Structure 1
Amino acid sequence: MEKMKFFKPTTEFKEMILLQEIENNHTITQKQLAEAIGAAPSMVNVYISELEEKNYLNREYISSKIVNYKITPQGLKRKNYLLICYMRELLALYKLAKSNVEKFLQSIENKGYKNILLYGAGEVAETIIGVIRDREIYSLNVLAIIDDDLQKQGTEILGYRIIDRSEIEKYNPDAVVITSYTFEEDIMEKLNEVGYEIGKVVRFFGK
């Protein structure tokens, strides 16, 4: 949950996670549950009490300090319902994001480009490759991915080799697509340094 950038956990989300964690591990501690939902351990007991009142789980006191939890059939039903609702919302957001990436890919195709190199071996490159693979026909061909990180060079992302910018000429791409948000301007300068035609550079984030 700490890695989430755009979602503020709702009560329903925390309820879903608590039920999921308890189903997976009936000996889980309040501290572990607190970490799972990003809440203070003192608040977990409040959430647990509410779930118990709704008959979603039962507490088994092993000792004064040790408590086991057991999800009830009603709790399992509730958890599955919340998961379906959560998945439905995620799919709606995914479709929205995918449509925007698709428009970007179509703009590349409209320029007559087919064989491309991506510059920036990160989440954006992975997303673009994923959208291309979801298409029935691969009208765009990713040749490789450029990155200036020496530790990444020579490795792969989703089966695509990560190369140094000095290898661009060897691949003879129709265009280089910049997929880095933070280093976009730096990449433009580096492409200029190696003599790549700037008119064949496409920015995902810029113009």
Structure 2
Amino acid sequence: MDKSPPEFYKPAPPLRDLQFLEALEQNPHLTQRELSHRLGIALGVTNACLKNMARKGWIKIKKIPPRRIGYYLTPHGFAEKSKLTYRLLSNTVRQYAAAKRNIARKLLAWEKAGIKRIVFYGVSEEMEIAYITLQGVNLELVGIVDDDPAKQKVRFFGIEIQAPDQLIQYQPDGVLITSVQAKERIEKHLKNHFSQLDLKVESL
């Protein structure tokens, strides 16, 4: 029975290719099943990707004793890995800059509207960008809340993360939803539990 992970994780092709090349550079003797589990990709997709890379000349497939197969990066494969790394890094920088501009626009609008005290709701990588952007505006981050108990009581930016029911104690003027993934759930929670407060709510 095939116990490879379900194919719900589908990284973009360039990222997937880079993950394959990095894994094979570290250990060319990985089996297809081991690669499948390491990368969280279905076994059939793993097989197809390896065949495609061999066809492109990125890897060379060799039989190794006892009754195993090795997947070795070729010079072309190493060159392609470098290109993919540069391309993905460039995309990340562009996405970071775009996110920072978007957050800055929203925070500046709050500043002009007279908002002073804000709370971040949702611990995430996006929240780190929001915090960096916050340094350029005249707003005070008075608290951070998150639904996940594992994140609560941890200090972030010198602020102890609290449960959402502690939001009122901060007396904020606005709440910035800083988790894109949990946006809808957080909006629903704020509407159901804090609608009586005159809070400005924005999301990233």
TM-score (norm 2): 0.72
Deviation by residue 1:113-150 (Cα, 9 ceiling, x = unmatched) = 233223x3333xx5244233146645322121134665
Aligned-partner residue type, residue 122 of structure 1:
V
- The answer (yes or no) to whether the contact 1:101–1:128 under 8 Å persists in 2 is no
- The answer (yes or no) to whether the contact 2:117–2:139 under 8 Å persists in 1 is yes
- The answer (yes or no) to whether the contact 2:115–2:174 under 8 Å persists in 1 is no
Distance change >3 Å, CA 138–CA 101, structure 1 → 2: closer
Distance change >3 Å, CA 52–CA 86, structure 1 → 2: same
> Which range moved further: 100-109 or 31-40?
31-40
- Secondary structure class of the residue paired with 2:132: helix
- Secondary structure class of the residue paired with 1:204: strand
Q: How many residues align?
A: 192
Identify the residue that residue 141 of structure 2 maps to in structure 1.
142
- Secondary structure class of the residue paired with 2:118: strand
Deviation by residue 1:87-134 (Cα, 9 ceiling, x = unmatched) = 22233333333322221111111122233223x3333xx524423314
Unaligned runs of 5+ in 1: none
Identify the residue that residue 132 of structure 2 maps to in structure 1.
133
Distance change >3 Å, CA 205–CA 117, structure 1 → 2: closer
Identify the residue that residue 18 of structure 1 maps to in structure 2.
20
Instruction: Tell me how far apart the structure 1 counterparts of residues 31 and 66 of structure 2 sit (CA, whole Å).
Output: 13
Instruction: Tell me how far apart the structure 1 counterparts of residues 147 and 56 of structure 2 sit (CA, whole Å).
Output: 54
Deviation by residue 1:51-103 (Cα, 9 ceiling, x = unmatched) = 33443222332236411222223211111101211222233333333322221
Aligned-partner residue type, residue 133 of structure 1:
I
Instruction: Tell me how far apart the structure 2 counterparts of residues 45 and 146 of structure 1 sit (CA, whole Å).
Output: 43
Identity of paired residues, percent? 22
Partner residue of 1:183 out of 182, 186, 194: 186
The answer to whether 1:104 aligns with 2:106 is yes
Distance change >3 Å, CA 66–CA 150, structure 1 → 2: closer
Identify the residue that residue 3 of structure 2 maps to in structure 1.
none
Unaligned runs of 5+ in 2: 1-6, 178-182
Aligned-partner residue type, residue 101 of structure 1:
I
Identify the residue that residue 115 of structure 1 maps to in structure 2.
117
Aligned-partner residue type, residue 160 of structure 1:
I
> Which range moved further: 177-186 or 106-115?
177-186
Instruction: Tell me how far apart the structure 1 counterparts of residues 145 and 40 of structure 2 sit (CA, whole Å).
Output: 36
Identify the residue that residue 41 of structure 1 maps to in structure 2.
43
